[in-house]
């Protein structure tokens, strides 16, 4: 018999065809003459109901198997697909055969309740994909990842892989995980200084915080590229929107100025929102009903909206008018805190806003400087509930200006010689941005903790599994 996923089975017309259901039991209800087993295989949100009718004369060994069935068990059930009298499902399986492949004993299988807290489920990350919420998060994540490629491929962007191990600090923020094969324990006992020439790469090396610098090298050859890969930050920030390991999508485009970059970011987000609204409706309905009321309407209105543009200077003026609302008092030159970002997008604008032209002191070395000598062509896209979802900029394409800035920041231009070469040979204006993939999933699903939208969260003190 052909293997059929439940999502396809539920779409079949019930013409008494034989089907074989394979998956994990969500619930079993044993009534006098009827046994109902709801099976889920993760192919879609819905379960398929398999009904065993004792009055139709079940084989003796079936009762034996039915006794082994409990929530979490893996089963293979065969029967006929028939119209369902129950509400909420067009078809069900009139079952006549069942094999329990793997039992999940009630006294030890942890997923027994209808709803477990997310905190509890974080402790059993290896099983949480079997719940409604985490199954839905995974399917929406899959849809979004596919959508990322779809959007860029349609728009002439080439997919490139940036290296994961690097010797340069792309953001200049110094929060990198070191990669070494040196024997740290022996070294610390010896009391000698570390000789990095003996290390695997011959110098201190790290996990990348961003693929941007390498993406720039390809954008200045292929015009439009994007990366989509894991990035690592050793920030000690224990928040609901930071991970130590997260995936980032970074488009980079030659001949793009900040305005083009802003339009690209807006079109990109709208494309993704529209895609999940259309193609993940079942999962979104679940989030709407059980996780974040109003999420569907929010996404729908966002697709129709025009993102507001606001300079940092104007943003700070707005914040200063409402000083009392904040723990960190805003002032020109301050880094915008999450509370400021949320206030701007939720209270001042009431929708997405792109804040531009930040003070150069609070932004990375590579951003293009404005003529005022104080600000850079940076852009952060802020959305309600979350704050920053995208960070990007036009890049400094003038050799002298970039070199000067690198020196001012106490960095060594020699470490960035290859990056400087892009400005020495055939330099062009160019821009790009980074979208945190998990922040995107957070936003779309209405989930509140970023640790619940990545299969295995890595954060301070958390890397077990």
Interface residue list for ligand 4AD (CB under 6 A): 170-171, 210, 212, 233, 235, 242-243, 246, 248, 250, 388-393, 432-436, 438-439
- Nearest distance, CB of residue 459 and Mg ion, angstroms: 18
Q: Which does 390 bind (CB under 5 to 8 A by kind): Mg ion, ligand 4AD, none?
A: ligand 4AD
How far lies 10's CA from each of 75, 85, 90, 325, 446, in Å? 18, 14, 7, 51, 27
Residue 439 interacts with, from ligand 4AD, Mg ion, none (CB under 5-8 Å by kind): ligand 4AD
Q: Which of 416, 426, 414, 362 has the alpha carbon at shortest distance from 393?
A: 362
Provide, rounded to whole angstroms, the least separation between the CB of residue 172 and Mg ion: 12
Residue 75 binding result from ligand 4AD, Mg ion, none, given CB thresholds of 5 to 8 Å by partner type: none
- Residue 437 is inside which H or E element, if any? helix 437-445
DSSP codes of every residue in 201-255: TSS-EEE-S-SHHHHHHHHHHHSEEEEEEEEE------STT--SEEEEEEEEEET
For position 387 contacting Mg ion by CB under 5 A, the verdict is no
Q: In what order do the strands lie in the sheet with 205-207?
A: 165-166, 205-207, 178-179
We find the least distance from the C-beta atom of residue 363 to Mg ion, in angstroms, to be 8
Q: Which stretch binds Mg ion (CB under 5 A): 45-53, 207-215, 219-227, 384-392?
A: 384-392
Count of residues touching Mg ion (by CB under 5 A): 1
Closer residue to ligand 4AD in complex, CB, 34/173? 173
Which one, 79 or 434, has the nearer CB to ligand 4AD?
434
* Closer of 73 and 258 to ligand 4AD (Cβ): 258
Best CA proximity match to 76, nearest among 89, 62, 90, 86: 62
- Which residue's C-beta sits nearest to Mg ion? 391
Residue placing its CB nearer to ligand 4AD in the complex, 166 or 212: 212
Contact segment (CB under 5 A) with Mg ion among 97-105, 112-120, 123-131, 385-393 equals: 385-393
Question: How many Cα atoms within 13 Å fall on the side-chain side of residue 179?
Answer: 16
Smaller CB separation from Mg ion, 338 or 449:
338
CA 91 – CA 252 distance, rounded (Å): 48
- 72, 391, 432, 436: which one contacts Mg ion (CB under 5 A)? 391
Decide whether 10 or 435 has the Cβ nearer to ligand 4AD.
435
* DSSP 8-state code for residue 14: -
Cβ pair 436, 389 in contact under 8 A: yes
What are the start-end ranges of the H helices in 4-129?
A: 6-9, 60-68, 118-123
**Rounded-to-integer distance, Cα 99 and Cα 90, Å:** 25
Relative orientation angle of helices 132-154 and 281-290, to the nearest 10 degrees: 130
Tell the smallest beta-carbon distance from residue 376 to Mg ion (Å).
Answer: 13
* Segment interacting with Mg ion (CB under 5 A) among 168-176, 191-199, 387-395, 441-449: 387-395
Of 23 and 391, which CB lies nearer to Mg ion in the complex structure?
391
Residue nearer to Mg ion on the CB measure, 52 or 437: 437
Q: State the minimum distance, in angstroms, from the CB of residue 437 to Mg ion.
A: 14
Q: What angle do CA 406, 412, 414 make, to 5 degrees?
A: 110
Residue 214 near which of Mg ion, ligand 4AD, none (CB within 5-8 Å, type-dependent): none
Q: How far is the CB of 391 from Mg ion (least distance, A)?
A: 3
Asked if residue 137 lies in contact with residue 452, where contact means CB atoms within 8 angstroms, the answer is yes
Which one, 160 or 355, has the nearer CB to Mg ion?
355
Q: Which stretch binds Mg ion (CB under 5 A): 68-76, 106-114, 140-148, 390-398?
A: 390-398
The CA distance from 167 to 179, in Å, is 10
Minimum distance between the CB of residue 340 and ligand 4AD, rounded to whole angstroms?
15
- 291 is in the binding site of which of Mg ion, ligand 4AD, none (Cβ under 5 to 8 A by kind)? none
Residue 92 or 266: the one with the smaller Cβ distance to Mg ion is 266
List the beta bridge partners of residue 52.
35
DSSP letters for 265-285: HHHHHHHHHHHHHHH-HHHHH
Binding site for Mg ion (CB under 5 A): 391
């Amino acid at each position: 018999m052909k293997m059929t996923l439940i999502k396809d089975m539920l779409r079949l017309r019930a013409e008494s065809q034989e089907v074989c259901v394979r998956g994990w039991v969500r619930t079993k209800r044993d009534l006098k003459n009827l046994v109902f087993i709801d099976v889920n295989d993760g192919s879609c949100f819905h379960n398929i109901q398999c009904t065993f009718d004792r009055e139709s004369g079940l084989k003796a060994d079936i009762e034996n198997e039915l006794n082994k069935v409990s929530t979490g068990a893996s089963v293979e059930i065969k029967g006929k697909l028939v119209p369902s009298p129950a509400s909420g499902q067009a078809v069900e399986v009139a079952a006549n055969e069942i094999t329990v492949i793997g039992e999940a004993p009630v006294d030890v299988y942890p997923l027994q309740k209808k709803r477990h807290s997310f905190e509890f489920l974080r402790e059993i990350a290896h099983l949480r994909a079997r719940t409604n919420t985490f199954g839905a998060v995974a399917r929406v994540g899959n849809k979004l990842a596919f959508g990322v490629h779809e959007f860029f491929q349609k728009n002439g962007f080439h997919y490139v892989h940036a290296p994961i191990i690097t010797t340069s600090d792309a953001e200049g923020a110094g929060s990198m995980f070191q990669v070494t094969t040196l024997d740290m324990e022996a070294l610390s006992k010896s009391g000698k200084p570390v000789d990095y020439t003996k290390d695997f790469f011959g110098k201190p090396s790290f996990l990348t915080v961003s693929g941007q610098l390498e993406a720039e090298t390809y954008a200045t050859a292929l015009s439009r590229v994007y990366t989509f890969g894991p990035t690592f930050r050793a920030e000690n920030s224990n928040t609901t929107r930071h991970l130590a390991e997260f995936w980032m999508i970074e488009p980079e485009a030659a001949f793009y100025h900040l305005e083009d970059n802003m339009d690209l970011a807006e079109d990109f987000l709208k494309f993704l929102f529209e895609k999940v609204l259309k193609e993940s409706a079942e999962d979104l309905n679940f989030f709407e009903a059980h996780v974040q009321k109003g999420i569907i309407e929010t996404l729908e209105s966002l697709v129709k909206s025009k993102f507001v543009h606001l300079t940092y200077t104007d943003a700070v003026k707005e914040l200063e008018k409402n000083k009392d609302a904040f723990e960190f008092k805003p002032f020109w030159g301050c880094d915008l805190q999450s509370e400021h970002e949320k206030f701007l997008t939720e209270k001042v604008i009431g929708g997405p806003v792109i804040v531009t032209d930040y003070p150069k002191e609070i932004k990375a070395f590579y951003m293009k400087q404005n003529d005022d000598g104080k600000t850079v062509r940076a852009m952060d896209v802020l959305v309600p509930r979350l704050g920053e979802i995208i960070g990007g900029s036009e890049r400094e394409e003038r050799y002298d200006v970039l070199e000067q800035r690198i020196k001012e920041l106490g960095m060594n231009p020699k470490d960035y010689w290859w990056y400087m070469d892009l400005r020495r040979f055939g330099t062009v204006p160019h821009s790009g941005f980074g979208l945190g993939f998990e922040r995107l999933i957070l936003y779309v699903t209405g989930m509140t903790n970023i640790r619940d939208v990545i299969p295995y969260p890595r954060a301070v003190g958390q890397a077990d599994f």
